[in-house]
Copies of this chain bind each other. A is one copy, B any other.
Amino acid sequence: MTTRAVHEAPGLALTAALRSVVDGSYAGVRDRVRRTLSGPDFAYPEPGISLADHRESTMAKTKLLAAAGVGDRQHEDVGERIAAFKTVGLGDLSVMVKVGVQFGLFGGAIDRLGTEYHHERYLADVASVALPGCFAMSELGHGSDVKSLRTTATYDADTHEFVVDTPDENARKDWIGNAAAHGRAAVVFAQLETAGEGRGVHAFVVPIRDEAGTPMPGVTITDCGPKMGLNGVDNGRLVFDHVRVPREALLDRYGQVAADGSYSSQIESPGRRFFTTIGALVEGRVAVAAQAISVTEVGLTIATRYALRRRQFPTADGSEQLLLDYTTHQRRLLPAIATTYGLEAAHAELVRRFAANLADPSESGQRTVESLAAGIKAYATWRNTETLDACRQCCGGKGYLWENRLPALLADSEIFQTFEGDNTVLAQLVVKGLLSGVAADFEDLDLVGLVKLVAGRAFNRMDPRTGHDALDSDTGRLAAFQWREEHLVETLGARMKKLVVDDHVDPAEALNRCMDHGLAAFTAHLERVILEAYQSLEGPAVLGTLRELFALSAIERDRAYFLEHGYLSGAQSRSVPGRVDALCRELRPYAASLVDGFGVPDELVAAPIATR
């Protein structure tokens, strides 16, 4: 083991120090939102609540948060806005998603894709929820493949209108939040056609209901119906039958249609234009990544507090052992806590880069933000589902009771793996970015580009390397993570190149065959990113132990790879599980402070088994 600074004593001072690590420079806004959410108006809905009541109470809470200033795009700094969204993720997740749809997706699309006209016309009403709205991108036939959307918006130069139309069943807008009950307008993503020419996917503000709530002529709205969770959110389907909207409905920051129907854009390449449009929406993923971390923190707080109260089976001295004194229990909770602090560090870094790139945009800055956002979103949401399930198991039958919150957390957040980009698809995008370097268009899965990409790049045959220090120091562990990532990316590239260039395998099929290799590269990349951010995190000494536990748990899971390539010796590899056990034991006395450091208000923890 390494020598380390003597730890702080567990207790209030440590908790405060950890909280200031988690809150960073956003303690003010986070505390404000925590206070709002802790009020009596935000009591969790009863489990038997009807769909209609659940939706109404969720809408009411969304308006209360709006009144408290959450989601006001015209007066909030971007970092503050994301910190506020993240904090909303400590409470009821239907409210969180409703807030995300209204202010993040609907408001965000108008903000980022629209111009001054749209901002003045809409943003104040978005912020006050006077205009509840939808983000109508996904279609039944195209959830992940936005480029292939089939809804059309055809410009009619005679009337100066766009005609928005759903050509067939597969093109219906599906799974649209705020659509089934409350939305009055929608930002609709559609294939723009003008002057007889297709111009690719653009966004339009389309009224879908009048003030009385009646669907607009030509707009058919149906209800997705009950879901596994998030039933406070009214997901619906939208079908447009030649719905006419004025020329100003086009959110025209990146593409403009003149009155005569002629098209112009400051971005010449249609591919680049598409990715710029989509890239402008990256804030949604930045927010969801943060929210997944919040949800995990709530689950870990409940399970850890329970494990510090509940006893089972007698010990030698006749007393019964606390659950958290069992190794299996420690191994389920403490590495997850360690990973969560690492994700906090990585996400804070993402927010810094995001804000910096908004202030001073560059293409490479944008690509980095997109890749980081996609990666942290996928990694954090996968780990979230896994961790919450472990938390539920750690609480036994008690964890299955509705009153103890874990059932709602599990049911509500399971879909995080799918929405705002399916995790598997996002992981592929990240890996494609790694293969291509920063220059390539991040979301471009175009196959011709892929062929050029792998054909044109040299992939290094890396020399064998041995990580003598791979387990024993921060630098050694980081080097191991860097080696693994680089090795996986290089060998993936070489393999793709061989398949496509030498063996003439269809590029899509080649990508397909290498997908598991790609997922391994994804994990290696994210864990390197997290470890790097972790190592530059400042705070109490216990963070050093947490960081080591994060690194060694990750090596433990993937030690076959290190062994197969001789990076770790058999003896090194065999020592890893014992080191993980020892780190868990070392952190055990700090468990209460570690979860208190997440700063989940008692009113939001709410579970009777987690009473302090």
* Size category of the binding interface on chain A: 35 or more
A316-B506 in contact (CB<8A): yes
A393 at the interface (CB under 8 A from B): yes
Binds B, one of A355-363, A513-521, A523-531: A513-521
CA separation between A406 and B227, bound complex, in Å? 10
B560-A397 in contact (CB<8A): no
Q: A313-B144, A506-B316, A570-B564 are in contact. Are A225 and B513 (CB under 8 A)?
A: no
CA separation between A400 and B227, bound complex, in Å? 6
The 0/1 profile, CB within 8 Å of B marked 1, for residues 426-451 of chain A is 00000000000000000001010000
The 0/1 profile, CB within 8 Å of B marked 1, for residues 225-248 of chain A is 111110000000000000000000
A142 — which chain B residues lie within 8 A by C-beta? 312
A327-B516 in contact (CB<8A): yes
The 0/1 profile, CB within 8 Å of B marked 1, for residues 323-363 of chain A is 00111100100000000000000000000000000000000
Q: A residues 193-249 with Cβ under 8 Å of B? A: 224-229
A399 — which chain B residues lie within 8 A by C-beta? 418
B392-A312 in contact (CB<8A): no
A138-B560 in contact (CB<8A): no
Interchain CB contact (< 8 A) of A507 among B312, B316, B410: B316
A533 at the interface (CB under 8 A from B): no
User: Which single residue of chain B is at the shortest CB-CB distance from A403?
Assistant: B225
How many monomers of this chain does the complex have?
Answer: 2
A227-B327 in contact (CB<8A): no
A401 — which chain B residues lie within 8 A by C-beta? 224-228
User: Which single residue of chain B is at the shortest CB-CB distance from A576?
Assistant: B560
CA separation between A392 and B422, bound complex, in Å? 12
The 4 closest A-B pairs by CB, nearest first: A228-B407, A560-B560, A47-B226, A226-B402
A to B CB contacts below 8 Å, 14 in the list: A226-B403, A313-B445, A316-B506, A325-B512, A326-B512, A327-B515, A389-B389, A393-B417, A396-B422, A397-B419, A516-B581, A560-B560, A560-B573, A565-B570
> Interface of A with B (CB < 8 Å)?
47-48, 50-51, 138, 141-145, 148, 174-175, 224-229, 311-316, 320-321, 325-328, 331, 385, 389, 392-393, 396-397, 399-403, 406-407, 410-411, 414-415, 417-419, 422-424, 445, 447, 506-509, 512-517, 519, 559-560, 563-566, 570, 573-574, 577, 581
